[in-house]
């Protein structure tokens, strides 16, 4: 089984989710006489990042480098991918289910005329064919799906597939680019960063989420302190109530009309646990709830709960974690 994994870079640096996708592909390929190629698209010099994929399970990294490809360009990237996929004769193509991957994959699907499974959380091989596990209805159910076309095209949810370490080095080959960027209709105007260095809630390994219980947007410093104590992989999330109130940006909303997240640790602080919120975070590894109402529904899904006033509990938690990490 020959699989192509699409790597993702931003600002010329390989993103962590790339290794998850490559390892997931390798996990399938290795048991089924297969091999994995990675496609890395980026600006001049991006080939230096290929070494980051040593040991990820891939045999080859195909590098498509061009000044016009430094930043994600939907038209350009879709066309480059189409060329590489068609030339390679792949059984499957996997992308990360990041906003870039989820934007790019449907275009590729239409160009190749194959169906697409977005945001999958499991891959199995049944009687020689791929079977994909996909959450539907915002995580309230799962479907197992099979695809009646080649290649099987899917995007993989971040934080679900474990990156592996297989110790083998990758071969690097470059892809010839015949595309003329002036024929790409979309013009990229600008990128406005919001979160600084804080990872996005959908990709963060640890999420500290706050709800109406915080009472005032000013009080978010309580959560920000906890987040920073937890380290660089921690991000901030929010309930819809506080997003609608304008306290937090909608990029932070977790739930049915926000983002679906699967961090290894999720703190729900002053969040009641409405069904639409639970839909977005129930696949988290460990859930911790802090709420002063012992009957709040959030405690029904939380692994650990503390009943109490968040303004007393959270600062103490921050302090204990700092102490644990030797910073207090």
Partner 1 sequence: MNIIVCIKRVPDTETRIRVGDDGTSIDPNGVKYVLSPYDEFAVEAALRLKEARGEGEVTVITLGDDASQETLRTALAMGADRAVLLQGEVTADGLATAKGLAAEIRESDPPLVLLGVKAADDDGQQVGPMLATLLGRPCATAVSSFEVTDAGVVCRSEVEGGTRVLELPLPAVVTITKGEYEPRYASLKGIMAAKRKPLEKKEAEMGPARLQVKAMELPKERVAGRIVGEGPDAVPELVRLLREEANVL
Ligand X SMILES: Cc1cc2nc3c(=O)[nH]c(=O)nc-3n(C[C@@H](O)[C@H](O)[C@H](O)COP(=O)(O)OP(=O)(O)OC[C@H]3O[C@@H](n4cnc5c(N)ncnc54)[C@H](O)[C@@H]3O)c2cc1C
Which member of 23, 277, 282, 288 binds ligand X (CB under 6 A)? 277
Q: Which positions from 205 to 234 touch partner 1 by CB under 8 A, shown as an x/- string?
A: -x----------------------------
**Using CB distances below 5 to 8 A depending on partner kind, what does residue 239 bind out of partner 1, ligand X, none?**
ligand X
Burial of 94 (0-12, 13-18, 19+ CB in 10 A): buried
**Using CB distances below 5 to 8 A depending on partner kind, what does residue 199 bind out of ligand X, partner 1, none?**
partner 1
Backbone angles phi, psi at 117, to 5 degrees: -110, 115
With respect to ligand X, which residue has the nearer C-beta, 173 or 309?
309
Does 199 engage in binding with partner 1 (CB under 8 A)? yes
**Using CB distances below 5 to 8 A depending on partner kind, what does residue 159 bind out of ligand X, partner 1, none?**
none
Number of amino acids touching partner 1 (CB under 8 A): 94
> What dihedral do alpha carbons 297, 299, 303, 305 form, nearest 10°?
150
Identify the H or E element spanning 62.
strand 60-65
Give the footprint of ligand X on residues 101-160 (CB under 6 A).
Answer: 143
Q: Which positions from 29 to 58 touch partner 1 by CB under 8 A, shown as an x/- string?
A: ------------------------------
Alpha carbon of residue 235 to chain centroid: 13
CA distance 185 to 129: 38
> What dihedral do alpha carbons 229, 235, 238, 244 form, nearest 10°?
120
Chain residues binding ligand X by CB under 6 A are: 143, 211-213, 239-242, 253-258, 270-272, 274, 276-277, 280, 290-293, 296, 309-311
């Amino acid at each position: 089984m020959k699989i192509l994994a699409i790597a993702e870079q931003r600002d010329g640096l390989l993103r962590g989710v790339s290794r998850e996708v490559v390892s997931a592909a390798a996990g399938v390929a290795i048991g089924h006489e297969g091999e994995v190629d990675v496609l890395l698209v980026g600006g001049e010099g991006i080939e230096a990042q290929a070494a980051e994929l040593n040991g990820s399970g891939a045999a080859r990294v195909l590098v498509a480098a061009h000044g016009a490809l430094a930043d994600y360009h939907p038209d350009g990237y879709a066309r480059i991918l189409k060329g590489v996929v068609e030339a390679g004769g792949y059984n499957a193509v996997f992308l990360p289910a990041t906003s870039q991957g989820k934007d790019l994959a449907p275009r590729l699907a239409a160009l190749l005329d194959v169906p697409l499974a977005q945001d999958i959380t499991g891959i199995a091989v049944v009687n020689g064919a791929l079977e994909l596990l996909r959450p539907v209805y915002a995580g309230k159910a799962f479907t197992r799906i099979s695809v009646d076309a080649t290649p099987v095209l899917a995007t993989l949810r971040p934080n679900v597939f474990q990156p592996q370490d297989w110790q083998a080095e990758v071969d690097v080959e470059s892809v010839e680019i015949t595309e003329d960027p002036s024929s790409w209709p979309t013009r990229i105007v600008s990128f406005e960063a919001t979160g600084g260095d804080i990872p996005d809630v959908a990709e963060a390994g640890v999420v500290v989420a706050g709800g109406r219980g915080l009472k005032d947007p000013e009080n978010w410093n309580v959560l920000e302190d906890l987040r920073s104590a937890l380290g660089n992989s921690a991000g901030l999330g929010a309930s819809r109530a506080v997003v609608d109130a304008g306290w937090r940006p909608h990029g932070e909303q977790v739930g049915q009309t926000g983002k679906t997240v699967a961090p290894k640790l999720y703190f729900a602080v002053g969040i009641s646990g409405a069904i639409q919120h639970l839909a977005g975070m129930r696949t988290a590894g460990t859930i911790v709830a802090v709420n002063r109402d012992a009957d709040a529904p959030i405690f029904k899904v939380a692994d650990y709960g503390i009943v109490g006033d968040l303004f007393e509990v959270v600062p103490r938690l921050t302090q204990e974690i700092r102490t644990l990490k030797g910073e207090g």
